[in-house]
Amino acid sequence: MTEKRVLIEPIDPRKSKPGGVDTCIRGLIKYRPDDMVLSVVGVDAVGDAEIGVWRTDEIDGRSVRFLPVYRADNTVIRPKIPHIAQLVWGVWKYRRQISADVLQTHRVTTGFAVRRFFRKARHVQFIHNDGDDSIKLGNESYFKKFTGAFRFLEKRAVQECADVVIFNSAAAERLGQWGQNVRFSPTWFDDEYFFPAEGDPHTARTDLLWVGRFEETKDPLLAVRAIAEAGPQYTLTMLGGGSLLQKTKDLAAELGLSERIDVKGPVEKRSVSDHLRARSALLMTSQHEGFPRAVVESLACGLPVVTTAGGEPNGLVVEGRNGTRIAERTPESVADAIRRVDGVASEGAISSVENLRATILVPYVLGRQVQSTEQQR
């Protein structure tokens, strides 16, 4: 029996944007089971779609129906009117045009709202980060001063949804206390694009790559200071965009590192794999992550990962096997971990993510037989 599933998130499937949520959804579209019709309700980020009218587009060789319910630049993290508010209003406005067996959301705020609009549908909630970390360590959450409200939304998601998929082991354990419908999933990689370079040309792992948003949570400034501390043989290429992009360039120049640190800014998602294969290790300096896609993709390309505890919180990166772990959030400690990664072989990196291919995990996260909330009770 064909399942009609509608995914609601402020993305435009025709235009990729930086971030794990966007990449996750593209993987779901590309590798969904053949007996599932997956449609997207989101934002017109291109500026040429008719709002409130379904259209059909081809994404990575798969046909997907798309209903834009508002128009905006969804790469702006904090617009005057939050994307969630615009999305929810648009869904309400065009709700009569949305029909599905299952409704899937990727933020607890969106999920709480749309479950009110479509009570007869079965609901699936994806959660990409540990809410505790986002509130305590991040600087982008609207709930930093309203932790009680966020707890309420998390608990209601577990109570009201047929299935809750969480990409963070600590969050899955915490939310699992409220229901048996909570399950953890690792992040996957698309092996059509992320695979090792031929052979292993690296005699020393001195050319590093950093991938992420240039925001305080990702701490690009720590990466720059660590390269200064590590020694003159180390270079760093930095990919991404954000409010700290120029400040990162300025710091590199101030420390005399402009020739060793190349801050490229935003690049197309598919070109990230080429950058990975041209480097020898990934540097991850985030204060917190869910299950970071950059780490999984780097390992799949044969690059060991140098990471902070928050940068890879699920225990995937094991010291000496597929990377090194940073003891403290100081330039000296990061530099020490960078030097240690020289002794890590590519084979350990590749083998550690062998079971994290999209072809394996996407059917897992979409393949569970979803029962209604009423049946669960």
Establish if 193 belongs to a structural domain: no
254 and 105 belong to one structural domain:
no
Looking at the structure, tell me whether residues 41 and 86 fall in a common domain: yes
Question: Domain check: are 83 and 229 in the same one?
Answer: no
Query: What is d(CA 353, CA 369) in angstroms, rounded to the nearest whole number?
Result: 26
CA 312-318-319 angle, to 5 degrees, is 110
The better pLDDT of the pair 178, 369 is held by: 178
pLDDT digits (tens, 9 = 90+) for 43-70: 999 999 999 999 999 988 899 999 999 9
* 146 pLDDT above the threshold of 80: no
Instruction: pLDDT band for 374, please (50, 70, 90 cuts).
Output: very low
In this prediction, residue 134 has a pLDDT band, given cuts at 50, 70 and 90, of low
In 3D space, the residue among 268, 303, 269, 257 whose CA is nearest the CA of residue 283 turns out to be 303
Residue 196 has pLDDT above 90, yes or no: yes
Domain residue limits at 122: 3-188+357-376
Note whether 116 and 129 are same-domain residues. Answer: yes
CATH number of domain containing 227: 3.40.50.2000
Please report the pLDDT score of residue 74 as a whole number: 86
Please state, in angstroms and rounded to a whole number, the distance separating the CA atoms of residues 104 and 114: 10
Burial class (CB in 10 A: 0-12, 13-18, 19+), 10: buried
Are residues 177 and 214 part of one domain? no
Task: Let me know if residue 196 belongs to a domain.
Answer: no
What confidence category does residue 232 fall into, taking pLDDT thresholds of 50, 70 and 90? very high
Say yes or no: 157 and 271 in one domain.
no
Q: What would the mean pLDDT of 160-183 be, rounded to a whole number?
A: 95
197 within some domain: no
Identify whether the C-beta of residue 95 lies closer than 8 Å to the C-beta of residue 136: no
Confidence band for 370, pLDDT divided at 50, 70 and 90:
very low
Name the domain count of the chain: 2
Is residue 121 assigned to a domain? yes
**Residue 76 has what pLDDT?**
80
Sheet holding 261-265, edge to edge: 261-265, 235-239, 207-211, 281-284, 305-307, 323-325
- 59 and 117: one domain? yes
CB of 331 within 8 A of CB of 325?
no
Residues 363, 341 within the same domain: no
- Which pLDDT does position 377 carry in this prediction? 35
One domain, residues 141 and 233: no
312 part of a folded domain: yes
51/152 same-domain check: yes
Question: Cα Rg for the chain, rounded, in angstroms?
Answer: 21
| pLDDT computed for residue 316 by the predictor | 97
**Is the pLDDT score of 135 beyond 60?**
no
- 291 in any annotated domain: yes
Q: Is residue 336 part of a domain?
A: yes
pLDDT at 373 over 50: no
Which own/partner contact pairs does 361-366 have at CB distance under 8 Å and 24+ positions apart? 361/185, 361/186, 361/187, 361/188, 362/27, 362/28, 362/30, 362/31, 362/32, 362/188, 363/31, 363/33, 364/185, 365/28, 365/126, 365/165, 365/185, 366/5, 366/28, 366/32, 366/33, 366/36
Tokens found for residue 98: 């949305």
Q: Is residue 324 part of a domain?
A: yes
Q: What is the mean pLDDT of the chain?
A: 91
CB count in 10 Å sphere of residue 144 = 13
List Cα–Cα distances, 184 to 48, 67, 164, 166, 254, in angstroms: 38, 29, 9, 5, 43
Tell me the one-letter amino acid at 269.
Answer: K
Q: What is the pLDDT of residue 294?
A: 95
What percentage of the chain has pLDDT greater than the value 90? Answer: 80
Mean pLDDT calculated for residue range 176-187: 95
Q: Give the total residue count for the chain.
A: 377
Residue 371, pLDDT score:
43
What confidence tier does 87 reach under pLDDT thresholds 50, 70, 90? very high
Which range has the worst mean pLDDT, 21-35, 127-141, 176-190, 314-328? 127-141
Residue 311 exposed, middle or buried by CB count within 10 Å (0-12, 13-18, 19+): buried
At 269, the pLDDT band (50, 70, 90 cuts) reads confident
Indicate whether 138 pLDDT > 80: no
With CA atoms as reference, report the closest residue to 245 among 288, 215, 267, 285.
Answer: 215
What pLDDT is stored for residue 375 in this prediction? 39
